[in-house]
Amino acid sequence: MKSIYFLLLFFSLVLFCPGIAFAQVHQAEEISVFQSIDLMVTKGELSFEEGLLQKLYAGVDPNRLDRQFHVNHDSHLFCLTPVLHEFFHHKSQLSSSTITEFDEILNPSTSHEALLHQSDSGNFNIFYRVEGSEAVSTIDSNNSGVPDYIEAISFAADSSYRHLVNTLGYSDFLKDEPYVIRVQSLRNFFGAAYPTGPDNTYVVIDNNLERLPSNDHPDDLKGNIYTLIAHELKHASQFIASQFRGGFDWLEMDAVYAENVVFNNVNWYINRLINPEFPGEPTSASIFGSPQTAPPVAYYHVTWMNYFAEQFGDQFWPDVWSSMANSDENFEETIKRTLESRPAKLESQNLLNHMWHMASGDFSHPDFGFTAASRYPTPILRHTFTQFPEQLDTQINFLNPLAAHYYSVEPTNEPDNQAVLRFKNTGVISGIGVGMIGVFKNGDIRIRTQTYSSPDKASRVQTGWRLNELESLRFAVVNGSTDESVAYGLTVETEPYELFADNPDTQFELKQNYPNPFNSTTNIEFDLFEESHVQLQIYNISGELIQTLVNRDLSPDYYSFSFKSSILSSGQYFYRLQTNSWQETRKMTLIK
């Protein structure tokens, strides 16, 4: 009895105190210097003002950074915008000495007068120096009288504005006068968008970006400049849209995403995904390295955003920001609402998102996943099942909201056997999903997705593929909830293949309606694997059409539709799902 009470208490803590599950999952993971400072502020071990100063020191003068934060400190921070945002919004609550320190660091005095270059569009005024510690390289390869460094900034600014604002429709940050970009020596960070009022910012950029890693552009320095300008000007647009509402991680993820939208031949973001010490392996902060870390994570989860752009088009994220600008919703709520307008659901899209990540690097396949999947690192698998039945070493596995665990199953030579996943102690209210990827010996790839509305429905999941025909089999257990943690146990075993009706070439998986038999209302669910025009229709036993539930184009997703039968008599009925190239019919029973 005591053990049952303890188990119930344990699951209550997991479900209603997600931080407990977070601590269990993240205990071995790296955190940034900003996150470590915020953690101490949250614990009350550091005041907000002291924490803000420590973040400033991390960016501009690491020698003044408290030694306890050095272990989490990168050699150089890419962007200081979130720190400047915090300073701007809390300035009235800070001491005069802290305000003075910020102002002196952000606006250093210099004995050399700044020069002005206006971009070709006239939209940007770029201030720079060619003498002293703030000086840029004076190389002027075209003899224009303006350093190449400044001309590259000018080109990047005009290109970024034109694409982000004019083409995609992100919030316009230009006012009556040209937007200001200042080139300074920023010591330990590379750029920032600094708020100067409720609807205005200016950008600062470092005078030496050769310290940044290489990229795909033929001229690394130009690639670095293009990347950073697109990043900071996206911050300027964010400020107009939401006053930086959304939090550090979402803001940085979005700005990194914008880099590649504007300059997709640079691909600087890939540096955030691959471990520089072990090329080919993922960084621990990326989804490939730690899928159990819930998004968002600043620079490292940009591929989570890339998925939605590749799946729904470049207009998806501008639509999210447009909604943010006209509501008080947080970022997750806005993403949900934007998906529903497609129509799609975050739970099932997050499942497919993780499946794309799982099918990357050495696991990439030309017929599924990211366009750049082969360039991405090979994802870290939590476990490979090699004996059947095999249970995970721990019976309780934790997942934070939107996070996942990736697994593989070693194919066997047993004829006509399939792998079956058995779940126990699933501790989530809704939104758990399983995504499976089978790569066959003939080169084919097939996917199967299952999403569940309640824990008990996820107790047994069949893969539906013969193990002896597979080259590899991987699956992801994904938490689709944005606010609830998951606890589950998992065992993998084999069963005869005949238990599953496998249709490898279908565009969808049509499920049996539930409840069945039904009295007045039943639910019809299906997984759609690729975009298609879809018809879902109800017929009587004579083949007469009773009702059309769906007749429109749908995106890949999980769908559930209700059928009400108040005027129908008891008996057998059929429901048929038809896509562009496939159809399937199932039987259901009405009892009154």
Contact of 305 with 246, CB cutoff 8 Å: no
Over the chain (592 residues), what is each successive 10-residue block's mean pLDDT?
A: 34 32 33 81 94 89 85 67 85 93 78 92 97 94 97 98 97 95 89 88 94 91 97 96 85 95 94 87 94 90 95 93 90 92 84 95 92 95 94 82 96 88 68 86 84 64 87 94 84 76 59 84 83 91 90 81 86 90 86 84
- Give the phi and the psi of residue 535 in degrees, each rounded to 5: -120, 130
String of b and e for 137-161 (b: at least 16 CB within 10 Å)? eeeeeeeeebbbbbbbbbbbbbbbb
pLDDT of 312:
86
Indicate the SS3 state at residue 201.
strand
Neighbours of 40 (CB within 10 A): 17
> DSSP secondary-structure letter at 378?
P
E strands, 261-379, are none
d(CA 592, CA 586): 20
Closest C-alpha among 573, 481, 575, 465 to residue 524: 575
pLDDT of 46:
94
> DSSP secondary-structure letter at 166?
I
Which residue is associated with the tokens 């994570």? 297
Sort 245 into a burial class: Cβ within 10 Å, 0-12 / 13-18 / 19+. middle
Cα first-last separation, the chain:
43
Tokens of 554: 């749908």
User: What topology is assigned to 508-590 in CATH?
Assistant: Immunoglobulin-like (2.60.40)
Q: Where in the chain is the domain with CATH 2.60.120.380?
A: 273-503
Q: Where in the chain is the domain with CATH 2.60.40.3080?
A: 508-590
What is the side-by-side strand order in the sheet with 404-409?
383-385, 404-409, 470-479, 432-440, 445-451
- Give the phi and the psi of residue 234 in degrees, each rounded to 5: -65, -35
The secondary structure element, H or E, covering residue 308 is: helix 302-312
pLDDT of 168:
97
The sign of the dihedral angle between the CA atoms of 304, 306, 308, 310 is negative
pLDDT of 454:
56
Instruction: Record the pTM.
Output: 0.80
Contact of 367 with 437, CB cutoff 8 Å: no
Whole-angstrom CA distances from 207 to 153, 267, 452, 548 are 11, 21, 53, 63
pLDDT of 499:
44
pLDDT of 427:
59
Contact of 261 with 314, CB cutoff 8 Å: yes
pLDDT of 361:
96
Q: Which CATH number does 273-503 carry?
A: 2.60.120.380
Q: DSSP string of 87-104?
A: HHHTGGGS-HHHHHHHHH
